[in-house]
């Protein structure tokens, strides 16, 4: 069986159009998007990297929604 990959429009439909998806996205943002840690030396650096890793899936979802809405990706924004 060949599985079809989700399209950018699928992401937009779920997380932007569907009210339940909007609530889920808002909850994920509140849970996982945090500012950088500036105090604590190496521990702060490690905590900041952890927070960046937690945010990556949300950035991907947002990128897919943007694609569905015709928003061009920023070529200066690297992975």
**How far is it, in rounded angstroms, from Cα 13 to Cα 55?**
21
Query: What pLDDT does residue 75 have?
Result: 65
Low-confidence ranges of the chain (pLDDT < 70): 1, 75-79
Query: What pLDDT does residue 12 have?
Result: 97
Residue 31's Cα: distance from chain center in Å? Answer: 12
User: What are the structure tokens assigned to 5, written together?
Assistant: 């990959």
How does DSSP classify residue 78? -
Give pLDDT tens digits for 10-28. Answer: 999 999 999 999 999 999 9
């Amino acid at each position: 069986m060949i599985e079809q990959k989700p399209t950018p429009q699928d992401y937009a439909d779920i997380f932007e159009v569907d009210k339940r998806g909007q609530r889920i996205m808002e909850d994920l943002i509140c849970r996982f998007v945090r500012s950088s840690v500036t105090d604590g030396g190496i521990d702060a650096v490690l905590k900041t990297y952890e927070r960046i890793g937690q945010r990556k899936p949300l950035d991907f979802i947002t990128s897919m929604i943007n694609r569905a809405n015709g928003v061009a990706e920023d070529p200066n924004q690297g992975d």
